[in-house]
Structure 1
Amino acid sequence: MTLTTERIHHDVAAALGEDPAEIPVDESLVDYGLDSVRIMTLLERWRREHGVQADFADLAEAPAVEAWARLLGAAS
């Protein structure tokens, strides 16, 4: 299964208990309540389900859906 930008957006919104429409793809997710525990949870899921090779520091450095999609090589 390919990791897509849409999947990242949906997974982030679910982790925050929000509708994806409420979470901009180009803004810092920290501003919307994403914390280090949730980032690790998402990363572990994507590693397990999609073979993602990134580490926590990579995601924490640029916590936005679009940035993560580029970093993780997500399909559009």
Structure 2
Amino acid sequence: MTTTDQVRAQIAELLEIPASEIADDDNLLDHGLDSIRVMTLIETWRDHGTELAFADLAETPTVTAWTTLLQR
């Protein structure tokens, strides 16, 4: 199972910022997460057996929403 903290840490690593700067419901695009980085996350999660489409993540770009999708 993927936790909120794990998702936040992966995003923070890509953005090269402390995970503590990302709140659960922050719009990740406001933090500078772009489509290239989103695709990087998607590929990482696919490597671990989770199938997500870019549109799934773009609909609600928050740590909370993405964690919910990953836990399905």
TM-score, length of structure 1 as denominator length? 0.87
Match of 2:27 in 1: 28
Cα distance in structure 1, aligned partners of 2:35 and 2:59: 11
Match of 1:8 in 2: 7
Unaligned runs of 5+ in 1: none
- Write out per-residue CA displacement over residues 22-49 of structure 1, whole angstroms, 9 at most, x where no aligned residue: 111111000000000000001100110x
Given candidates 52, 67, 74, the residue that maps to 2:50 is 52
Match of 1:72 in 2: 70
Unaligned runs of 5+ in 2: none
Cα distance in structure 2, aligned partners of 1:23 and 1:58: 20
Where relative contact order (Cα < 8 A, 6+ residues apart) is larger, the structure is 1
Pairwise CA RMSD: 1.2
Cα distance in structure 2, aligned partners of 1:61 and 1:36: 13
Match of 1:17 in 2: 16
Cα distance in structure 1, aligned partners of 2:24 and 2:50: 19
Runs in 1 of length 4+ with deviation above 2 angstroms?
A: none
